[in-house]
């Protein structure tokens, strides 16, 4: 199918509704996108001890993230090799073996088939158990505690897959004070379903700065950490606001860059302990990161279905596809592991107020995705493409602000200027995945200079 010329026409700024509602395209997407890309599975703070597991998902597949007895981390397909039963039906826990509920085969936490009922009597000891262990992902990466996996052994390393997006994921996983990999998960993972295609939230988190009107009510209510607006805007008001798109990778984010020498205005001024903690972290960050401390995180999307909110609130999301017309959203909440309990408690309240099924900001978004999807499914509606013409041709590739170089395609924006370049970057990569035969073709950055990557 001619994805790039027919369904995703970036030069014209048009994307067909078919890619959101057509079941054949959805089925092809499972093979071409989700069976080949690197996908976020969970965080190692969810499985600190040997035998700990967390049941996650990769595309439509249920997978088990677990730590074996030797403390090694694995990701297995959660499907028994005998007749396919889900070997682990809990969300998380600790075990020495996964025993299949159907006929009782059991698998060690390193995936080996270690128990077969009536092995001697029924199988006459003939079954080669070494061949029937749990299916394991082709590659796994523990990046600063976040666990990523792919089913494709020819995929590039996770770091190569991220490209220049690394520093934005770092803002999520490193400490507020800039120390490396300080994040831990706060509480459980929130899971819920929305009747829309998974690409609605993926596109939105890529950097839809244009939909602020949707959040007028939360701004007025003042759900932010200091009780005004949706977030504390001090640092953003003195910063450059940027769309940053990583061409050839399909990752993108909204980002703020503070002027040189600027200390962010104090945020989180609701309680003395919380305010003092963040003041301390900001000062430490300047010492630890130098000029890079000027980068202030915001929403972003790692292709295909992982979203970041690296600051206010600090959460990640997975958009699990559940058929063309449904997405299962999972939201992970992060704090620094050594933050005072009062800070963690405060952040929990703010995160839940903002994100997740009860989060007031996320509810606004879900309302839009739900109704936009439903109104795009009819035979008449499907004839008309969506419009992605905003800001075509305005991206620059060598962006620098007061000595800080920002890699990627960058668009300098304000609260009323915006661009749909992040969405175009996302769908450009989506179309490449849908058309490319293998990872050799998908690793486009190895074949052509970056400058040629623009539309």
DSSP output for 133-153 = S--B-SEEEEETTEEEEES-T
Which H/E stretch holds residue 26?
Answer: helix 23-29
The window from 48-56, 61-69, 75-83, 167-175 that contacts ligand FES (CB under 6 A) reads 75-83
- Does 203 bind Fe ion (CB under 5 A)? Our answer is no
CB of 62 to Fe ion, least distance (A): 29
Distance between CA atoms of 188 and 333, rounded to whole angstroms? Answer: 8
316's tokens:
């990640």
- Residues paired with residue 64 on neighbouring β-strands, in sequence order: 55, 76
Rank residues 85 and 453 by Cβ distance to ligand FES and give the closer one: 85
Residue 89 interacts with, from ligand FES, Fe ion, none (CB under 5-8 Å by kind): none
- Does 129 bind ligand FES (CB under 6 A)? Our answer is no
Query: Residues in contact with Fe ion, total (CB under 5 A)?
Result: 1
Q: How many CB atoms lie within 10 A of CB 292?
A: 14
Residue 365 interacts with, from Fe ion, ligand FES, none (CB under 5-8 Å by kind): Fe ion
Distance between CA atoms of 221 and 218, rounded to whole angstroms? Answer: 5
Rank residues 122 and 220 by Cβ distance to ligand FES and give the closer one: 122
Q: Where are the alpha helices (DSSP H) in 174-299?
A: 199-207, 216-221, 234-237, 272-289
- The residue within the footprint of ligand FES, chosen from 1, 85, 127, 374 (CB under 6 A), is 85
- Does 287 bind ligand FES (CB under 6 A)? Our answer is no
Distance between CA atoms of 284 and 291, rounded to whole angstroms? Answer: 13
Rank residues 107 and 426 by Cβ distance to ligand FES and give the closer one: 107
- Does 98 bind ligand FES (CB under 6 A)? Our answer is no
Name the residue whose CB lies closest to Fe ion. Answer: 365
CB of 122 to ligand FES, least distance (A): 12
CB of 87 to ligand FES, least distance (A): 7
- Does 5 bind ligand FES (CB under 6 A)? Our answer is no
Omega cis (within 30) before 304: yes
Q: Where are the alpha helices (DSSP H) in 318-420?
A: 341-354, 360-374
- Does 372 bind ligand FES (CB under 6 A)? Our answer is no
The dihedral over CA atoms of 417, 199, 427, 18, expressed in degrees to the nearest 10, equals: -120
CB of 203 to ligand FES, least distance (A): 39
Rank residues 168 and 369 by Cβ distance to Fe ion and give the closer one: 369
Give helix 360-374 / helix 199-207 axis angle, nearest 10°.
Answer: 130
- Does 301 bind Fe ion (CB under 5 A)? Our answer is no
Pairing, β 299-302 against β 386-387 = unpaired
* Contact call for residues 343 and 335 (beta carbons, < 8 A): yes
Rank residues 79 and 376 by Cβ distance to ligand FES and give the closer one: 79
Query: Residues in contact with ligand FES, total (CB under 6 A)?
Result: 9
- Does 102 bind ligand FES (CB under 6 A)? Our answer is yes
CB of 201 to Fe ion, least distance (A): 9
419's tokens:
């661009």
Q: How many CB atoms lie within 10 A of CB 448?
A: 10
CB of 149 to ligand FES, least distance (A): 23
- The residue within the footprint of Fe ion, chosen from 177, 203, 365, 432 (CB under 5 A), is 365
- Does 103 bind ligand FES (CB under 6 A)? Our answer is yes
CB of 70 to ligand FES, least distance (A): 25
Rank residues 107 and 354 by Cβ distance to ligand FES and give the closer one: 107
CB of 81 to ligand FES, least distance (A): 7
Pairing, β 73-77 against β 106-108 = unpaired
Give pairs for 319-323: CB < 8 Å, separation 24+.
Answer: 319/198, 319/201, 319/202, 320/57, 320/59, 320/60, 320/198, 321/26, 321/29, 321/30, 321/34, 321/59, 321/60, 321/197, 321/198, 322/60, 322/193, 322/198, 323/23, 323/26
Rank residues 46 and 206 by Cβ distance to Fe ion and give the closer one: 206
Contacts of 156 (CB under 8 A, 6+ apart): 439, 443
- Does 107 bind ligand FES (CB under 6 A)? Our answer is no
- Does 83 bind ligand FES (CB under 6 A)? Our answer is yes
Residues that bind ligand FES (CB under 6 A): 80, 82-83, 85, 100, 102-105
Q: Which residues bind Fe ion (CB under 5 A)?
A: 365
């Amino acid at each position: 199918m001619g994805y790039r010329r027919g369904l995703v026409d970036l030069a014209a700024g048009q994307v067909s509704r078919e890619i959101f509602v057509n079941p054949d395209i959805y089925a092809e997407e499972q093979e071409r996108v989700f069976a080949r890309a690197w996908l976020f599975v969970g965080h190692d703070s969810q499985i600190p001890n040997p035998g700990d597991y967390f049941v996650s998902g990769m595309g439509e597949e249920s997978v088990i993230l677990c730590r074996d007895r030797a403390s090694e981390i694995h990701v297995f397909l959660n499907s028994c090799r005998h007749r396919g039963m889900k070997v682990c039906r809990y969300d998380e826990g600790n075990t020495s073996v996964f025993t299949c509920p159907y006929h009782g085969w059991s698998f060690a936490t390193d995936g080996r088939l270690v128990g077969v009922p009536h092995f001697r009597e029924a199988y006459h000891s003939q079954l080669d158990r070494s061949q029937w262990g749990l299916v394991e992902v082709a590659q796994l990466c523990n990046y600063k505690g976040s666990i990523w996996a792919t089913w494709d052994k020819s995929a590039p390393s996770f770091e190569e897959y991220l490209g220049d997006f690394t520093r934005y994921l770092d803002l999520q996983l490193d400490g507020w004070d800039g120390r490396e990999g300080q994040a831990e998960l706060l509480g459980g993972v929130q899971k819920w379903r929305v009747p829309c295609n998974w690409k609605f939230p993926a596109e939105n988190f890529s950097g839809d700065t244009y939909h602020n009107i949707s959040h007028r009510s939360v701004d007025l209510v003042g759900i932010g950490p200091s009780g005004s607006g949706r977030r504390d805007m001090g640092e953003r008001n003195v910063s450059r606001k940027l769309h940053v798109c990583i061409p050839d990778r399909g990752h993108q984010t909204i980002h703020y860059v503070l002027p040189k020498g600027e200390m962010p205005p104090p945020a989180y001024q609701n309680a003395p302990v919380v305010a003092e903690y963040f003041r301390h972290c900001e000062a430490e960050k300047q010492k630890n990161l130098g000029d890079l401390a000027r980068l202030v995180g915001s929403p972003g999307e790692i292709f295909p279905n992982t979203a970041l909110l690296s600051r206010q609130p600090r959460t990640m999301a997975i958009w699990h596809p559940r058929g063309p017309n449904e997405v299962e959203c999972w939201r992970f909440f992060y704090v620094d592991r050594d933050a005072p309990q009062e800070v963690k408690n405060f952040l929990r309240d703010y995160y839940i107020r903002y994100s997740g099924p009860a989060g007031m900001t996320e509810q606004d978004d879900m309302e839009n995705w739900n109704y936009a999807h439903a109104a795009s499914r009819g035979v008449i509606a499907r004839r008309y493409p969506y419009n992605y013409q905003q800001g075509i041709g305005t991206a620059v590739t060598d962006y620098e602000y007061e000595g800080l170089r920002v890699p990627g395609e960058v668009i300098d924006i304000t609260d009323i200027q915006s661009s749909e370049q992040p969405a175009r970057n996302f769908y450009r990569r989506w179309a490449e995945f849908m058309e490319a035969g293998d990872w050799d073709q998908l690793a486009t950055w190895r074949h052509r200079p970056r400058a040629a990557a623009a539309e």
